[in-house]
Amino acid sequence: MVGIFGGAFDPPHKEHVSIVKSLCENGLFEKIVLLPSGNSPHKDSLSPYSSRIRMIEAAFRGLPVEISDAEWSFSGRAYSSVILPEMKKRYGEIGFIIGGDSLLAFRTWHEPKAVLAVCPIFVVPRGDEEIDSLRAFAEDLTNELGGSVEILSNVKGKDVSSSLIRAAIELGEETEDLPIGVREIIEEEGLYSEKRKMAEKVKSSLPEKRWKHTCGVVLTGIKMAELYHIDKEKAFTACLLHDCMKYSEIVHKGVPEDAVGTKVMHAFNGAEEAKIGFGVTDEDVIAAIRYHTTGRAAMSDLEKLVYLADVVEPNRTYDGVDEIRAAAFRDLNEGFVLSLKRSYELLLQREKPIYYLTVECYNYYCK
């Protein structure tokens, strides 16, 4: 049987390679056909097809794979219900390989019944997805729509996110998740570098430790944006710039007078700098930077995201961080309120001045 393995491969990462390796070792498939998405209905704008092919060739070198341009060359929307019959014509007996996350979203696919009618589906569980619950889901699905779905419990994959890899590259940071040779192609072709200049400028204005913190906030922010369906690009920019004025002597016009010289000043100052120094015009992003320290009443999800990513990023080690971190990835609001309460109570305990916006924020969310 030939395994059909689709994906954006933007970029291909080590987990893709390890899945293909174990699929081949497993003996189920004599060959894997990689099917990079073209104009997929599920993905935002992708890197150029030719760049993705170069990366795929480097990543899967030495493995029994073939790259198919069936999705790319398809003129309409390349739904699986349309592409898979084409693959079947070409390769004969086929099996369609998808991730556990895709299985859970299967009912939202275009013509799911038609997809199931073409060929058996093989599911690679990702991360901590429970194999048993995937099995139960698959059983319900096939009872309802027909076809065959098998959970490949011996090919369990790690949870690696291409968005996080792209964000690390935008920041100019190393990432361990790229196969050999892929980073070089990324640099050569200038992929994922839209925000690179911005990142370099922020990096040059911060001490090393604060830059590490900033990278932690960006990556945490991207994870949350994925989880809570918040605009990833806005999250990236707001997190990247949130502390950009932490070490500056300049006080921009637009910083409230009662904030000048206090611990909350850098947030207002950063919002002004985002406009003046970085050309940010998006009001959502500017507000998320402005209120990342004080909070305020009636915050947007993006504002909560930056506030929370700031206090739970991996370099944070204060007492109680684990609890807030867990809550932050369970429910955005729950995490936010927990963190707000903690910092408000600490300020009270230590008899520190509390900025009026923080009082308003606390009254709004915690009373």
**Where along the sequence are the contacts to Fe ion (CB under 5 A)?**
243, 310
Give the nearer residue to Fe ion in terms of CB position, either 135 or 342: 342
The least distance separating Fe ion from the CB of residue 209, rounded to whole angstroms, comes to 11
Residue 68 vs 343, nearer CB to Fe ion: 343
Cβ contact 290:267 at 8 Å: yes
Token code pair at residue 306: 């930056």
DSSP 306-363: HHHHHHHSTT---TTHHHHHHHHTT-HHHHHHHHHHHHHHHHHHTT----HHHHHHHH
CB 13 within 8 A of CB 177: yes
> Beta-carbon neighbour count of residue 363 at 10 Å?
11
Which of residues 4 and 306 has its CB atom nearest to Fe ion in the complex?
Answer: 306
Burial tier of 212 (Cβ tally within 10 Å: 0-12, 13-18, 19+): middle
Identity of the residue, 70 or 312, whose beta carbon is nearer to Fe ion in the bound complex: 312
- Looking at the Cβ atoms of 2 and 206, the one nearer to Fe ion is 206
First to last CA, the chain: 61
What's the closest the beta carbon of residue 235 comes to Fe ion, in angstroms? 14
In angstroms, give the least distance from the CB of 210 to Fe ion: 8
Q: Which is nearer to Fe ion, 232 or 242 (CB)?
A: 242
**Distance between CA 183 and CA 44 in Å, rounded?**
22
Distances (CA, A) of 138 to 122, 223, 339: 10, 27, 38
Question: How far is the C-alpha of 75 from the C-alpha of 72, rounded, in Å?
Answer: 8
CB of 232 to Fe ion, least distance (A): 19
Shortest distance (Å) from residue 217 CB to Fe ion: 6
Report in angstroms how near the CB of residue 203 gets to Fe ion at its nearest.
Answer: 14
